[in-house]
């Protein structure tokens, strides 16, 4: 035992993987499995996907590296790290505001994330009890509509998910969750591959799905779709709100940020693409519309499981994994805020978590009602429901804006030598990273913002 403990290489190895697991746990979630497919469907397919991949590489990777480096250098909650690191610049307080905006993003995202994860719990339970067995697509679709039409049912599951999130945070059992991520992620991968196999063999529309996902028709590319793709690249990588910065604070000095970020991004992107490749052939095979919206994942995959041998078992396992993936993401939205609350006020973790989660839960009721009582036009703003407004504000405004400011901060404000040491790259690589952070990533975000305002 003690021999193992004192072996330095073993220790470094564990630490490096702890950060990868925590960051991958944050990144991989409903964004990949639920949001990516339905956004792709609503934005016309290939053009959206290609733009999203472009944003991941040009904007997402350098900003994730910046967040991890700033977090590791600052070693506090994001709000305090940014303020500390900016000390001496005239705008120290202003940079603290970036942390605040991040906390706001986390608050807003969690409020609806918990509602959708609640649907996931409902599906895990229903799947395990066999209610879907032998159902047609129409019946599965009708039962999805029945679930979301019931504020009571959805509220119950929304509550359950929020309580679970709070329990993990309050009891500081991240370690336990990280270990389960280690098992969960490969299991999720295997089940997605199984679904992909089912799609290839049984749907008879696999190539149609591939074509829909990857065919680039420039005429599909409105500025609106480009903004959605940019926003989704922030959402899916958990960027622009301090989650990665908060985890970076626990990253050991020796671990390579570039390699770590590389693994997380590859995993996240692979899961999203496999989910898309499994789902769209089923959409076409069943004569569904790709732009069906937020129900897409639930209806297509549930009808596949309903007709698959062993579908009850695999289906409930799949939705259970979706819920766990959502949980490891939701705790990363809460952690930066709770860390800050305990630094700033004289409160313990339990008190801070309870108070915070209660307020987020209440706000989340707006999203619960968006699919039933408040779905009517009289409750909409700019033609969007409450849920759609919250989703739009976070993914398309506050996350990209937060990411833009973090990039500017890492590229222009903080001393070059600090970041240089943290990133530990060759000179050429460092200069490339710096050019991306200083000019290219901010320019991409600004151009897309202004094109949308004008267009």
> Nearest distance from residue 383's CB to ligand PHE, in Å?
25
Q: With CB under 6 A as the contact rule, which of the stretches 13-21, 236-244, 247-255, 423-431 interacts with ligand PHE?
A: 236-244
328 near ligand PHE (CB under 6 A): no
32 near Na ion (CB under 5 A): yes
77 near ligand PHE (CB under 6 A): no
240 near Na ion (CB under 5 A): no
27 near Na ion (CB under 5 A): yes
Nearer to Na ion, 29 or 78 (CB): 29
Of residues 243, 264, 341, 425, which one binds ligand PHE by CB under 6 A? 243
Beta bridge partners of residue 89, listed in sequence order: 87
114 near ligand PHE (CB under 6 A): no
316 near ligand PHE (CB under 6 A): no
394 near Na ion (CB under 5 A): no
95 near ligand PHE (CB under 6 A): no
Partner that binds at residue 37, options ligand PHE, Na ion, none, CB closer than 5 to 8 Å by kind: none
Nearer to ligand PHE, 62 or 242 (CB): 242
Please tell me the distance from the alpha carbon of residue 183 to that of residue 189, in angstroms, as a whole number.
Answer: 10
236 near Na ion (CB under 5 A): yes
25 near Na ion (CB under 5 A): no
328 near Na ion (CB under 5 A): no
Nearer to ligand PHE, 140 or 297 (CB): 297
Site string for ligand PHE, 1-40 (x = CB under 6 A): -------------------------xx-xxxx--------
Counted residue by residue, the chain has a size of: 455
> Nearest distance from residue 274's CB to Na ion, in Å?
13
Nearer to Na ion, 23 or 47 (CB): 23
Count of residues binding Na ion (CB under 5 A)? 5
> Nearest distance from residue 249's CB to ligand PHE, in Å?
16
Site string for Na ion, 167-206 (x = CB under 5 A): ----------------------------------------
> Nearest distance from residue 92's CB to ligand PHE, in Å?
25
Q: State the distance between the two ends of the chain, measured CA to CA, in whole angstroms.
A: 64
Catalog residues that contact ligand PHE under the rule CB under 6 A: 26-27, 29-32, 109, 235-236, 238, 241, 243, 329, 332-333
Binding footprint of Na ion on the chain (CB under 5 A)? 27, 31-32, 236, 268
């Amino acid at each position: 035992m003690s021999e193992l403990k004192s072996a330095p290489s073993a220790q470094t190895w564990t630490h490096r993987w702890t950060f990868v697991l925590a960051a991958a746990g944050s990144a991989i979630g409903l964004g990949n499995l639920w949001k990516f497919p339905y956004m792709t469907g609503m934005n016309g397919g290939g053009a959206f996907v290609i733009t999203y991949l472009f944003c991941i590489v040009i904007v997402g990777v350098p900003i994730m590296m910046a967040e991890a480096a700033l977090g590791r250098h600052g070693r506090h909650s994001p709000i305090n790290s940014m303020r500390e690191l900016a000390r001496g610049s005239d705008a120290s307080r202003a940079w603290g505001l970036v942390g605040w905006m991040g906390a706001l993003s986390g608050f807003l995202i969690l409020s609806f994330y918990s509602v959708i994860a609640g649907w996931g719990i409902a599906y895990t339970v229903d799947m395990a009890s066999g209610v879907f067995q032998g159902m047609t697509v129409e019946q599965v679709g009708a039962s999805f509509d029945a679930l979301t039409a019931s504020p009571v049912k959805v509220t119950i599951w929304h509550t359950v998910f929020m309580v679970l999130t709070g329990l993990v945070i309050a009891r500081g059992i991240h370690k336990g969750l990280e270990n389960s991520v280690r098992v969960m992620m490969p299991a999720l991968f295997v089940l997605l591959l199984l679904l992909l196999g089912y799609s290839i063999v049984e749907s008879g529309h696999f190539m149609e799905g591939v074509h829909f996902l990857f065919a680039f028709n420039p005429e599909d590319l409105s500025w609106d779709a480009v903004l959605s793709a940019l926003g989704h690249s922030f959402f899916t990588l958990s960027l622009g709100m301090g989650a990665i910065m908060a985890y970076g604070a626990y990253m050991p000095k020796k671990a390579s940020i570039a390699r770590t970020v590389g693994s997380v991004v590859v995993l996240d992107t692979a899961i999203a693409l496999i989910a898309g490749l499994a789902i769209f052939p089923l959409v076409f095979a069943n004569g569904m519309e790709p732009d069906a919206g937020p129900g897409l994942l639930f209806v297509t995959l549930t009808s596949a499981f309903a007709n698959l041998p062993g579908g009850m078992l695999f289906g409930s396992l799949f939705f259970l994994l979706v819920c766990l993936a959502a949980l490891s993401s939701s705790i990363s939205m809460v952690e930066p805020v709770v860390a800050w609350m305990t630094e700033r006020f004289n409160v313990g973790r339990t008190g801070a978590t309870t108070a915070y989660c209660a307020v987020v839960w209440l706000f989340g009721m707006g999203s619960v009602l968006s699919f039933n009582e408040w779905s009517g036009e009289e409750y909409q703003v700019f033609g969007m429901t409450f849920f759609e407004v919250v989703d739009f504000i976070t993914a398309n405004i506050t996350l990209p804006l937060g990411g833009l400011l973090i990039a500017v901060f890492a590229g222009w404000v903080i001393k070059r030598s600090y970041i240089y040491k943290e990133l530990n790259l060759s000179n050429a690589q460092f200069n490339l990273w710096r050019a991306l952070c200083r000019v290219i990533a901010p320019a991409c975000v600004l151009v897309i913002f202004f094109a949308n305002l004008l267009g």
